[in-house]
Structure 1
Amino acid sequence: MIKRKLEVKCPHCKKKFNYYEGEFRPFCSERCKMIDMGHWLNEGYTVPVKGNLDAELDFDEFEIDESDQGFGNFYDDKEQ
């Protein structure tokens, strides 16, 4: 059996470890994995946006057909 080896750095603590032997990959340990999960849950990771995103969206351009309430018409048409 060939043992694969790929040295990588943990995205959190930068410690080097063998990727194929890591139980918590791409992290080196459960601690680093949970710290990263905490960042996601607290919305710590964001995508930078230039300008005011709310000002760029024009919700008046969308039309809503209020005659169709829910999916009732969709399923009724399919059964006929």
Structure 2
Amino acid sequence: MNCPQCGRKVEWTPENKWKPFCCERCKLIDLGEWAAGNHRIPGEPVIDPEEDPNAFH
């Protein structure tokens, strides 16, 4: 399997604690992309009732 961040070959073994990434650096880069909103899971937006109390009325 290849690292989803850099494309380097990754051994899928119990010893590789960063899988599916090749290293901690690639894992943290990916986490930062999610936190920045650059990666998203498709679907309807979630409305937080605390942010918009009239959303469900």
Per the normalisation by structure 2, the TM-score is 0.64
The alpha-carbon deviation at position 34 of structure 1 amounts to 0.0
Name structure 1 gaps, 5 residues minimum.
1-7, 54-62, 65-80
How big is the alpha-carbon RMSD for the aligned residues of Structure 1 and Structure 2? 2.3
1:14-70 CA-to-partner distances (Å, cap 9, x unmatched) read 000211132101100000000000001101113568xxx8xxxxxxxxx74xxxxxx
- Find 1:33's aligned residue among 8, 27, 31: 27
Name structure 2 gaps, 5 residues minimum.
45-55
CA–CA distance in structure 2, aligned partners of residues 46 and 37 of structure 1: 12
Question: What stretches of structure 1 move > 2 A for 4+ residues in a row?
Answer: 46-49
Aligned ranges for residues 31-70 of structure 1 at < 5 Å? 31-47=25-41, 64=57
Q: Percent identity?
A: 38
Higher strand share: 1
Higher helix share: 1
**Code of the aligned partner of 1:25:** K
Q: Report which structure shows greater RCO (CA 8 Å, sep ≥6).
A: 2
Query: When the two structures are aligned, how many residues end up with a matched partner?
Result: 45
| Structure 1 range deviating more: 36-45 or 16-25 | 16-25
